[in-house]
Chain A
């Protein structure tokens, strides 16, 4: 009889997978009328999974024959992912009902996608990395096309799927090269082999391909092409989800991949990350200027934010990783808040997504406009908002790693970025409304907008707890 592996560290993933199946059963038997119930139960499942993450988290523990790892870095990232998923799910409930796409599979797919993200965060082997990534992506492709009667949504889903499959191909090709030249797919083993100082060209080419595959999921330049189209075409609630949870998981994966197995190749991969980071920051700022659709704008904004987060990774130091994690935490709050506002944008019962439709928001919905302004200021990195510290810490890490050019480009592009963020504020406060937005705003959205806005402010004044958590988590990555 073979020994049953220690399943405790993987408990959150197991729980979520089982919960998703149970919820699907419930939903299928109860019919589409029970979508709201299933959604709330899904949120509950995500919360319980968060509790489990906290319960099983602790010092680094490798299990399932070395394929799975649980450490404090994982705990932090998983909590962010779960938080992002749960909050976007809450936000989307009313939206999916209004848009007549209220079907029970929606929350179930989000839970399954989240399971994939947790698997990504905990991957300790190139194969488990791929499997987690694919679990997450496959569910994401489906929900991108969830409004199947809309040509744009179907197009978004298809585009996402085809390009995603291409990137998976690159990832696998790179993994096979890495395996061929290093003789293992396990992260621990890879780290040992590479630390021993044998680095061949083939391995580096493999690393480049793997990085390209992950960058695709991250939507970092030059693999960002799909992002604006997919973000614009998908239902807005799905866009909100895409902009938050998968990003966090992909960044977490990238960080673990580069720091743990390829940690000794920092000089080599730093060039790649440097290029991606600069490209993303510049493209995110300049391309967003001309946008008139707010979802497209958020797409470019998210590309830019990935660029800033990668600044911390390019530093390759514990400080840098801490910056990345702090950045992601703040990013989640800002983005969920902003999307909560976008999801409230309706005229005469119809969802609208033009930036001009926000005009006069300060008159019709003063609180909403205030919250949106806070998010925009925070995204631009203007104090007193948490976004300021987020940028500060990554740039600080970059300077400490003597990446001066990178830090300077980052600061300059955030100045450019501030232009379009502030344009939204200007539209809200100084333009006259052609047609005011609807007044009916769901209660969940009100609560979430208020809460995220408060947190965005709060983390400026008391960043210490979050920062400590991030530092604590980052240190676990460098301990071994």
Chain B
């Protein structure tokens, strides 16, 4: 238990610290790298609560693909982020006030924390029996009870894909494209001619 406790505090502390660094790092590339670090620690926390599937998917999807593209874009951008951030001090009072209000509200809400007694009985999320791995358990839920949401999320990604293509794809004129079929179906006789070249004659 001690080891788990220590691991939790380590993951949690690094997660919070790196999340702070994401918004405070001067260099945007460093921000993205800290973001990746915080993803990792979130994955670590998931592993600690036994949700290994979610942890791995977090790493594969967010760290392995999404953050790579972030990094890709941020590295290509030539924005003076220091200039962008110069407004920080100007907006600090109002932002700080809003944040403070939200914090107080949260405190009020949490202070009055009372989960309805009916609510606890309504939490109909039975833990899977121990012999079923949690990957299988998630699969059994996603494809039965939540199949509607699963499919609808797919639809959202489909729309996002169409959107990305519509807004960025431009057919450029005058680009010579490779036609693989034609290249492959080309026969030797069509392109090679064997000629007898007379000495000093040329073709």
Classify A-B as touching or not with yes or no (CB < 8 A): yes
A21–B155 CA distance with the chains assembled, in angstroms: 10
> What residues of B have a CB within 8 angstroms of the CB of A109 in the complex?
159, 162-163, 166
Q: Which residue of A lies closest to B117 (CB)?
A: A198
B-chain residues with CB within 8 Å of residue A105 when the two chains form the complex: 162, 165-166
* A139 CB–B CB distance under 8 Å: yes
| A2–B115 touching, CB < 8 Å | no
Contacts known (A112-B159, A200-B112, A201-B112); A10 close to B143, Cβ less than 8 A: no
Chain B, Cβ-Cβ closest to A109 = B162
Interface: A205 (CB within 8 A): yes
- With both chains docked as a complex, state the minimum distance between the C-beta of B143 and any C-beta of chain A, in angstroms: 7
CA distance A131 to B115 in the complex (A): 26
Query: Chain B: which residue is nearest A141 at the CB level?
Result: B163
Which one of B1-9, B10-18, B144-152 contacts A? B144-152
Contacts A109-B159, A201-B109, A202-B112 hold; do A183 and B152 have CB atoms under 8 A apart?
Answer: no
In the complex, whether B79 has a CB less than 8 A from a CB of chain A is no
Q: Which of chain B's residues have a CB closer than 8 A to the CB of A180?
A: 115
Residues of A within 8 A of B124 (CB): 184
Name the residue of chain A whose CB is nearest to the CB of B151: A17
- Give A63's nearest chain B residue, CB to CB: B148
Bin the interface of chain B by size. 35 or more
Cβ A2 vs Cβ B144 within 8 A = yes
Question: A67-B149, A200-B116 given as contacts; is B166 within 8 A of A135 (CB)?
Answer: no
Residue B76 at the chain A interface, CB threshold 8 Å: no
Contact A138 B160 (CB under 8 A): yes
On whether A189 and B167 interact (CB within 8 A), knowing A65-B145, A135-B159, the answer reads no
Is the CB of B153 closer than 8 A to any CB of chain A? yes
Report yes or no: B146 in contact with A65, Cβ–Cβ below 8 A: yes
For chain B, residues 68 to 113, give those with C-beta under 8 angstroms from any C-beta of chain A: 105, 108-110, 112-113
Is A17 a contact of B122 with CB atoms below 8 Å?
no
Please name all residues of chain A whose beta carbon is closer than 8 Å to the beta carbon of B115 when the two chains form the complex.
180-181, 183, 200
A265 CA / B157 CA spacing, docked (Å): 35
Per the bound structure, the CA–CA distance linking A21 and B147 in Å amounts to 19
Known contacts A17-B155, A134-B156, A177 near B118 by CB under 8 Å: no
Contact across chains for B159 and A184 when beta carbons are under 8 A apart: no
Please determine whether B112 and A183 come into contact, CB atoms closer than 8 angstroms.
no
Q: When the two chains form their complex, are residues A184 and B149 in contact, meaning their CB atoms are under 8 A apart?
A: no
Return the chain A residue nearest B106 by Cβ: A205
A145 at the interface (CB under 8 A from B): yes
A201 touches B108 (CB 8 A): yes
Determine if B159 and A142 form an interchain contact, defined as CB atoms under 8 angstroms apart: yes
Q: Is A64 an interface residue (CB 8 A)?
A: yes
Chain A residue numbers with a CB within 8 Å of B116 are 181-183, 193, 196, 198, 200
Pairwise interchain contact A128-B118, C-beta atoms closer than 8 A: no
Interchain CB contact (< 8 A) of B113 among A68, A134, A142, A202: A202
A146 CA to B166 CA, complexed, in Å = 8
B35 to chain A, nearest CB (A): 17
Taking the complex as formed, is A119 at the interface, i.e. its CB lies under 8 A from any CB of chain B? yes
User: In this assembly, does B114 line the interface, its C-beta being within 8 Å of a C-beta of chain A?
Assistant: yes
Please state if B148 and A68 are interface contacts (CB–CB under 8 Å).
yes
The yes or no answer to B49 lying at the interface (CB within 8 A) is: no
B113–A139 touching, CB < 8 Å: no
Whether B147 lies near A5 (C-beta < 8 A) is yes
* Min CB–CB distance A297 → chain B (angstroms): 28
Q: Mark A132-155, 1 if CB is under 8 A from B, else 0.
A: 101100110110011010000000
A56 part of interface (Cβ distance < 8 Å):
no
Tell me, in angstroms, the Cα distance from A116 to B117 when the chains sit together: 35
B65 at the interface (CB under 8 A from A): no
- Is A108 an interface position by the 8 A CB rule? yes
Is B197 engaged at the interface, CB distance under 8 Å to the other chain? no
**CB <8 Å contact, A200 and B166:** no
Taking CB atoms, residues of chain A closer than 8 Å to B181 are none
A-B contacts, 23 of them at CB < 8 A, read A10-B148, A17-B155, A24-B162, A64-B148, A65-B146, A67-B146, A67-B149, A109-B162, A112-B158, A131-B153, A131-B156, A138-B160, A139-B159, A142-B166, A146-B166, A181-B116, A182-B122, A183-B115, A183-B123, A200-B112, A201-B108, A202-B113, A205-B105
Residues in A lying within 8 Å of B, measured CB to CB: 2, 5, 10, 17, 21, 24, 64-65, 67-68, 103, 105, 108-109, 112, 115-116, 119, 127-128, 131-132, 134-135, 138-139, 141-142, 145-146, 148, 157, 177, 180-184, 189, 192-193, 196, 198, 200-202, 205
- Enumerate chain B interface residues (CB-CB to A < 8 A): 105, 108-110, 112-120, 122-124, 143-149, 152-153, 155-156, 158-160, 162-163, 165-167
Ranked 8 nearest A-B pairs via Cβ: A183-B119, A142-B163, A198-B116, A64-B148, A201-B112, A202-B109, A131-B152, A65-B145
